[in-house]
């Protein structure tokens, strides 16, 4: 049983550890951020995992365009949808953090605006796929869109915010880079932050697996109806 499920149990165990330690571990005395720095265990890992999932999704889209196996398209769709879910969760936790530190749930910041535009682009991919009834045509058009949208998304959330002079978000404009910000973390926070990335990754990978299985069942039923 553990040979098949061990990584799922591991993900749940790490998340229980991260949530518990995240609320009780010692934190550094950082001005303005203060206790809200604990959100680092949730908000930042979600975005890290989201980027990884979107990259994996684009890889599966490339594989589909090469061999036209619908299994690759379903995997790409599953990773995209759960990546969007992570983006929504990351935006919510980020908004809570922004309210605590900057006084507004969504201040006028180039990083946050880039996130909003990037998420809308991915939402449009879901709308596009939903508007096409033929499975193979949907896979082909959606795959091409998915491949091109990933670097555009990275440009909106990473490249463009660095080109502005003033920004609130770390790593954008005149603010410190995340690596420098990370240097202020104490040993207790590091022992939670890095496992949290793995935990969120395994937990949502489980969700991806479930979504892929659902898409496979739906696809097989559609194939049977066409016969």
- pLDDT of residue 209 exceeding 60: yes
Delimit the domains of the chain by residue range: 12-226
Lowest mean pLDDT among 16-20, 31-35, 40-44, 197-201: 31-35
Mean pLDDT of 103-108: 81
- pLDDT of residue 177 exceeding 90: no
- pLDDT of residue 202 exceeding 90: yes
pLDDT digits (tens, 9 = 90+) for 28-46: 666 556 666 777 888 889 9
Q: What is the pTM of this model?
A: 0.86
Cα 52 to Cα 105: distance, rounded to the nearest angstrom: 26
Q: Which two tokens stand for residue 2?
A: 């553990």
Buried b (16+ CB within 10 A) or exposed e, 52-65: bbbebbbbbbebbb
Distances 132 to 42, 76, 135 between C-alpha atoms, Å: 35, 16, 8
pLDDT digits (tens, 9 = 90+) for 82-91: 999 999 999 9
Inter-helix orientation angle 187-226/43-67, to 10°: 30
- Please report the pLDDT score of residue 134 as a whole number: 86
- pLDDT of residue 176 exceeding 60: no
Mean pLDDT of 92-97: 86
Residue 109 — pLDDT band, cuts 50, 70, 90? confident
pLDDT digits (tens, 9 = 90+) for 152-166: 999 988 887 777 666
- Residues written for the chain: 227
- Please report the pLDDT score of residue 76 as a whole number: 96
Residue 191's contacts (CB-CB under 8 Å, 6 or more residues apart) are 21, 25
């Amino acid at each position: 049983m553990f040979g098949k499920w061990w990584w799922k149990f591991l993900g749940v165990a790490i998340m229980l550890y991260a949530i518990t330690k995240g609320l009780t571990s010692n934190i550094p005395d950082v001005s303005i951020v203060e206790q809200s720095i604990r959100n680092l265990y949730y908000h930042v890992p979600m975005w890290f995992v989201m980027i990884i999932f979107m990259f994996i999704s684009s890889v599966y889209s490339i594989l589909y365009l090469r061999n036209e196996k619908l299994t690759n398209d379903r995997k790409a769709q599953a990773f995209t949808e759960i990546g969007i879910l992570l983006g929504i969760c990351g935006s919510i936790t980020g908004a809570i953090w922004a309210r605590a530190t900057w006084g507004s749930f969504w201040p006028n910041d180039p990083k946050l605006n880039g996130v909003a535009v990037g998420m809308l682009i991915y939402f449009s991919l879901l709308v596009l796929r939903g508007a096409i009834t033929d499975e193979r045509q949907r896979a082909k058009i959606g795959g091409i869109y998915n491949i091109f949208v990933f670097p555009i998304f990275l440009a909106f959330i990473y490249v463009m915010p660095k080109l502005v002079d003033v920004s609130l978000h770390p790593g954008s404009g005149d603010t410190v880079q995340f690596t420098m910000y990370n240097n202020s973390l104490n040993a207790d926070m590091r022992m939670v932050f890095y496992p949290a990335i793995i935990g969120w990754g395994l937990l949502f990978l489980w969700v991806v697996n479930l979504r892929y299985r659902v898409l496979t069942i739906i696809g097989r039923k559609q194939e049977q109806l066409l016969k």
